[in-house]
Amino acid sequence: MPYELYYWPGIQGRGEFVRLALEEAGADYIDAARSPKGEDEAVSALMAAMEREGVIHPPFAPPFLKDGDVIIGQTAAILLYLGDRHALAPKDPVKRLWVHQIQLTIADLVAEVHDTHHPLGAELYYEEQKPEALRRAKHFREERIPKFLRWFESILARNPESDVHLAGKSVSYADLSLFQIVEGLLYAFPRRTKAVLAEVPRVAVLHQKIAGRPRIHAYLHSGRRLPFNEQGIFRHYPELDG
């Protein structure tokens, strides 16, 4: 039975971290956000699945994954589950937890990226909070992007088993997620991100290597990969890039 992934249509968003893991695993999955019947249908299916009566483990928000009777919400929890099933995380319990810890830090980074264009809250449009976004983005751009990327660089430098994987000697979901972070930062803050990437060569190499993995390469060049846009988490507003 294929997995079913539920997420908002029209954007990559947090669902994309799950898609990358499913694609790298070559897993059979139905992406409910990409309903051939259109976006309205996709949202209806999402809401129906999320709010169904009698679900013992109701997710708080998308994305969530159905695997038969099991429903799992929270991106990092979904990846923890898929990592075990598809060898996208080390088996050693300490290393497995380390990959998860990296993923949780990536989740924090994603929340900070969202707040650069929505500091006053997701319920208001960007245009309603532009002066505040300019203030919040400045600190993110100048301090947080280098702090996060240098942390990933230090992890790659310290991994005794590999220079191109964050943990262990083979690819993990954290590697895939770091690829997505670099893609997103390059889209949203191209000027600043290119400058910082020049200082973190291992992160830049990991980004290239993941893009070149056969299944990821095929996915990125397929119609399944939506382009970044200004409804998602990573948005390109040139004024926020300084």
Cβ neighbours, 10 Å, residue 40 = 10
Q: HSE-up of 104 (CA within 13 Å, CB side)? A: 8
User: Could you identify the residue written with the tokens 């669902």?
Assistant: 15
Instruction: Kindly state the tokens that stand for 120.
Output: 């006053």
Q: Per CB under 8 A, does 87 bind a second copy? A: no
Give the DSSP H/E element, type plus range, for residue 29: strand 29-31
CA 174 from chain center: how many Å?
A: 9
Q: Per CB under 8 A, does 154 bind a second copy? A: yes
Angstrom distances, CA of residue 91 to CA of 19, 94, 159, 173:
22, 9, 16, 13
Instruction: Kindly state the tokens that stand for 48.
Output: 């129906």
User: Could you identify the residue written with the tokens 């997420």?
Assistant: 7
Q: Pattern of binders to a second copy over 167-206, x per CB under 8 A?
A: ----------------------------------------
Biggest alpha carbon distance in the chain? Answer: 52
Number of residues that bind a second copy (CB under 8 A): 44
Interface segment toward a second copy; rule CB under 8 A; list 17-25, 51-59, 214-222, 224-232: 51-59
- Are the C-beta atoms of 199 and 159 separated by less than 8 Å? no
Interface segment toward a second copy; rule CB under 8 A; list 3-11, 13-21, 66-74, 185-193: 66-74
In the complex with a second copy, the residue whose CB is nearer, 30 or 107, is 107
Choose, by CB under 8 A, the member of 10, 27, 45, 73 that binds a second copy.
73
CA 103 from chain center: how many Å?
A: 9
CB of 95 to a second copy, least distance (A): 9
CB of 54 to a second copy, least distance (A): 8
Interface segment toward a second copy; rule CB under 8 A; list 22-30, 154-162, 174-182, 208-216: 154-162
Interface segment toward a second copy; rule CB under 8 A; list 8-16, 26-34, 38-46, 102-110: 102-110
User: Could you identify the residue written with the tokens 């976004």?
Assistant: 133
Q: Per CB under 8 A, does 52 bind a second copy? A: no
Q: Per CB under 8 A, does 30 bind a second copy? A: no
Residues contacting residue 200 through CB under 8 Å, at least 6 positions apart: 149, 150, 152, 153
Q: Per CB under 8 A, does 91 bind a second copy? A: no
Residues that bind a second copy (CB under 8 A): 54-61, 70, 72-74, 76-77, 80-81, 94, 97-98, 100-101, 104-105, 107-108, 111, 115, 119-121, 123, 132, 135-136, 139-140, 143, 148, 151, 154-155, 158-160
